[in-house]
C-alpha cells in the first residue's frame, strides 16, 4: 500500500494554484482561467479553516466563496498528494527552464512569456546569453536596467543552486517524518544536515533513523506520494527526489552509532574537520560510525558521549560552523542559547490598518495565545502608500483604539508603535510630536536601495540619531534567494547603535531572516540588543518566530542579548533610557 504524505496545507494549495496561473499565462490561456486560479489562490491563503480539516469533517469545499466543484476537486487532490494533474500537464508542456525563470526576482509570467515566445529562451543559460548580447532590452517593457537585473539574478541563482528556504522545507520534513512514523512507529527519527543547523536555506534533507524494521521504513519512504524519482533504494540508505525538486536521503544506522552519525551528517563540513583533527591529536579516530581508540569504540551512541569523550562541552547544532565553537567548548565558554520560550512578546506586527490581514484585536488575541504578554502594533507609516501607510491623524486614532482594547485586557498589553520609513535624508516620515507619544518606533528602509554604501550608511545613522528611534527594522533589506542586501556598512551601524543605545532587528520572516548571524554576533559583542520580531502581517505569521530564534541561535545570542525577552516593565525602562 502506498504511504501518503498527509496534511498539505491551504498555503500549499495556494502555491499550486499560483503556479498553474503562471504557466497558463505563459501558455496564452484564456485570461478568465488565469484569473480564476489567482482568485482561488488568494481564497485559500485567507481561509481560516484548513481544507484538510473540512474534508475530514465531511464538509463541502464548495461552501467556500469562489470555490466551485472543479476547484474543490483539485483542492482535495492537492491536499492528498501535493500536486494536481493540471499542473503536471502544464509542466510537461512548458520547458523546465522557463518554469525556473519564474523564480527570478522581477520576472513575472508576462515577462517570462515575452522572453520565451519572442527570444525562444528556454533556460537560465540562454537567458543570460541573450541579456549579455543586449537582446533583452530590445523587448517591449524591458530596457537596459531590466537586462542588468536579469544578469545579476541569474548569477545569484546559479550561485545558490537548488537551495530553498528552510521554512519551505519544513512542511516536507513534517510530512516525510509522518510517513515514516506511520510505517514504523517505534523507529527513532531525526533530521540532520543544514536543516538541523537552522541554516536560512537548505539544498537537500538528510534523515537518520534507528529501526528494527529498516526494510519497512525504506519501502514506505520510496513509495510515498510526492516522489518524482527514486535515486536509490537499499536496506540502509535510500534517496528520492520529490516533485518540487528537493532531494531527501534516508539512512538507517545502528543504535550504537546514532550519535556519531547524527554529528557527522549534521555538519558543517568545516566543523566536522575541526572535530576530527581534535580526535586525531588525542589518538582517536572519529567517523560516522563512532569514536574509536584503535578498533574499540569509545563513544558514538549519542552526540553528548562523543563530545564528552573529546573533552568538549556539547555544541548546539546551530553553532557548528567552525567559528570558534571548538575552542569555547574546550574552555566551557559556550553560550546558553536563547530559546523560543524566552520570548515575552513581538515588537513588529501589522494590522488591517495598513497592509495586514487581521484587526488589532485579532492580532493581540493570537499573540496572547503564543504565550506572550505584549505585542507592539507597528503599522506602516504614510510614505509607504502601497501598504496604506498611516499618517499622523490615523496614528492618533489607532492609539485611541489601542487604549480601548487594552482596557478590556487583564494580563496582556498592546504597545502603540509604528514602522516609520527612513527618508532619503535620514529623517523619519512621522513628526516627532506623534513619535514621542508612541511606545516604540521601528524605522526601516523601504525605498532607494541603490544608494552607495556610504550614502546608505549615513542615511540610516542619521535616522538612528532621532531621539524617538528604538529599533532598526530588517537592517540590510535582503530577500533570500531573490534580492541581495542593499549596500550598507553594518559594522558601522552596529557601532553607532552601541553609541546611541538603540537596537537592531532580527526579522524572523523566512524570506528575510535579516540580520545575518555574523552581524548578530558582532552586535552582541558590542552590547547592542537584538529584537527578534516576526513582522507578522497575519495571525498565522506569529509562528515564524521559530525561524528567527534559529537565526538568533546561529548568531550565538543568549536570552540577555535579545530585547523582547524582557518583561514589559523592563522594556519600558529601556525605551525610556533610549530617549534620554
Q: Is 417 helix (H, G, I), strand (E, B) or coil?
A: strand
Q: pLDDT truncated to tens, each residue of the chain (580 aa)?
A: 333 334 567 878 888 898 899 999 998 889 899 999 989 998 888 787 888 888 888 899 998 888 999 999 999 888 887 788 898 888 888 887 888 888 777 778 888 888 988 889 888 889 889 988 989 888 887 888 888 888 887 877 776 667 889 998 998 999 999 999 999 999 999 999 999 999 999 989 999 999 999 999 999 999 998 888 899 999 999 999 887 778 999 999 999 999 999 999 999 999 999 999 999 999 999 999 999 999 999 999 999 999 999 999 999 999 999 999 999 999 999 999 999 999 999 999 999 999 898 999 999 999 999 999 999 999 999 998 878 899 999 999 999 999 999 999 989 999 999 999 999 999 999 999 999 999 999 999 999 898 999 999 999 999 999 999 999 999 999 988 878 899 999 999 999 999 999 999 999 999 999 999 999 999 999 999 999 999 999 998 999 999 999 999 999 999 999 999 999 999 999 999 998 7
Cα of first residue to Cα of last residue in the chain, in angstroms, is 68
C-alpha cell at 505: 532587528
Give the pLDDT confidence score for residue 343 in this predicted structure.
98
DSSP letters for 82-148: S--HHHHHHHHHS-HHHHHHTTSTT--HHHHHHHHHHH---SHHHHHHHHHTT-STTSTT--HHHHH
Residue matched to cell numbers 476537486: 73
Q: Is 9 helix (H, G, I), strand (E, B) or coil?
A: coil
The pair phi, psi for residue 175, each rounded to 5°, is: -70, -45
For residue 495, the 8-state DSSP code is H
Distances in Å between the Cα of 478 and the Cα atoms of 459, 511, 550 are 17, 8, 18
Q: Could you tell me the domains of the chain?
A: 10-150 (1.10.150.110), 164-187+200-248 (3.30.460.10), 257-331 (3.30.210.10), 340-578 (3.20.20.140)
Please state the pTM of the whole predicted model. Answer: 0.82
Give the pLDDT confidence score for residue 404 in this predicted structure.
97
Q: Are 453 and 489 in contact (CB under 8 A)?
A: yes
Amino acid at each position: 500500500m502506498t504511504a501518503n504524505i498527509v496534511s498539505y496545507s491551504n498555503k500549499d494549495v495556494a502555491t499550486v494554484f499560483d503556479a498553474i496561473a503562471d504557466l497558463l499565462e505563459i501558455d496564452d490561456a484564456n485570461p478568465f482561467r488565469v484569473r480564476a486560479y489567482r482568485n482561488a489562490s488568494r481564497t485559500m491563503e485567507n481561509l481560516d479553516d484548513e481544507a484538510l480539516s473540512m474534508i475530514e469533517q465531511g464538509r463541502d469545499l464548495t461552501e467556500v466563496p469562489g470555490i466551485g466543484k472543479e476547484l474543490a476537486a483539485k483542492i482535495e487532490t492537492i491536499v492528498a498528494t501535493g500536486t494536481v494533474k493540471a499542473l503536471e500537464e502544464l509542466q510537461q508542456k512548458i520547458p523546465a527552464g522557463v518554469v525556473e525563470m519564474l523564480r527570478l526576482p522581477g520576472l513575472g509570467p508576462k515577462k517570462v512569456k515575452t522572453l520565451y515566445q519572442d527570444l525562444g529562451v528556454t533556460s537560465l543559460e540562454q537567458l543570460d546569453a541573450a541579456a549579455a548580447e543586449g537582446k533583452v532590452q530590445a523587448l517591449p517593457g524591458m530596457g537596459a536596467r531590466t537586462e542588468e537585473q536579469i544578469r545579476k539574478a541569474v548569477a545569484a541563482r546559479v550561485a545558490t543552486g537548488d537551495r530553498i528556504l528552510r521554512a519551505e522545507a519544513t512542511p516536507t520534513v513534517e510530512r516525510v517524518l509522518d510517513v515514516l512514523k506511520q510505517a514504523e512507529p517505534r523507529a527513532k527519527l531525526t533530521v540532520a544536515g543544514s536543516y538541523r543547523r537552522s541554516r536560512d536555506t537548505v539544498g537537500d534533507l538528510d534523515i537518520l533513523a534507528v529501526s528494527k524494521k529498516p526494510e519497512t521504513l525504506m519501502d514506505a519512504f520510496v513509495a510515498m506520494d510526492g516522489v518524482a524519482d527514486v535515486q536509490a533504494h537499499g536496506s540502509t540508505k535510500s534517496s528520492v527526489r520529490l516533485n518540487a525538486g528537493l532531494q531527501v536521503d534516508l539512512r538507517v544506522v545502528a543504535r550504537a552509532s546514532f550519535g556519531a552519525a547524527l554529528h557527522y551528517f549534521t555538519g558543517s563540513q568545516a566543523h566536522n574537520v575541526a572535530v576530527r583533527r581534535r580526535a586525531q591529536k588525542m589518538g582517536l579516530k572519529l567517523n560516522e560510525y563512532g569514536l574509536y581508540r584503535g578498533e574499540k569504540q569509545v563513544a558514538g551512541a549519542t552526540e553528548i558521549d562523543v563530545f564528552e569523550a573529546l573533552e568538549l562541552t556539547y555544541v548546539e547544532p546551530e553553532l557548528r560552523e567552525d567559528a570558534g565553537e571548538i575552542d569555547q567548548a574546550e574552555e566551557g565558554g559556550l553560550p546558553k542559547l536563547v530559546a523560543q520560550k524566552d520570548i515575552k512578546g513581538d515588537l513588529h506586527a501589522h494590522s488591517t490598518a495598513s497592509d495586514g490581514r487581521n484587526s488589532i484585536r485579532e492580532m493581540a488575541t493570537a499573540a496572547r495565545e503564543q504565550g506572550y504578554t505584549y505585542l507592539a502594533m507597528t503599522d506602516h507609516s504614510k510614505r509607504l502608500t502601497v501598504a496604506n501607510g498611516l499618517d499622523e491623524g490615523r496614528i492618533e486614532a489607532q492609539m485611541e483604539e489601542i487604549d480601548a482594547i487594552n482596557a478590556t485586557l487583564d494580563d496582556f498589553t498592546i504597545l502603540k508603535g509604528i514602522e516609520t520609513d527612513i527618508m532619503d535624508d535620514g529623517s523619519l516620515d512621522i513628526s516627532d510630536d506623534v513619535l514621542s507619544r508612541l511606545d516604540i518606533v521601528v524605522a526601516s528602509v523601504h525605498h532607494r536601495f541603490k544608494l552607495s554604501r556610504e550614502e546608505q550608511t549615513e542615511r540610516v545613522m542619521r535616522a538612528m540619531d532621532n531621539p524617538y528611534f528604538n529599533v532598526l527594522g530588517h537592517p540590510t533589506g535582503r530577500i533570500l534567494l531573490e534580492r541581495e542586501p542593499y549596500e550598507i556598512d553594518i559594522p558601522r551601524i552596529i557601532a553607532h547603535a552601541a553609541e546611541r543605545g538603540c537596537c537592531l532587528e532580527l526579522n524572523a520572516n523566512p524570506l528575510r531572516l535579516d540580520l545575518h548571524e555574523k552581524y548578530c554576533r558582532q552586535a552582541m559583542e558590542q552590547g547592542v540588543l537584538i529584537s527578534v520580531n516576526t513582522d507578522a502581517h497575519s495571525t498565522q505569521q506569529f509562528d515564524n518566530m521559530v525561524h528567527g530564534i534559529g537565526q538568533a541561535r546561529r548568531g550565538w545570542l543568549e536570552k540577555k542579548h535579545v530585547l523582547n525577552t524582557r518583561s514589559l516593565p523592563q522594556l519600558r525602562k529601556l525605551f525610556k533610557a533610549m530617549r534620554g
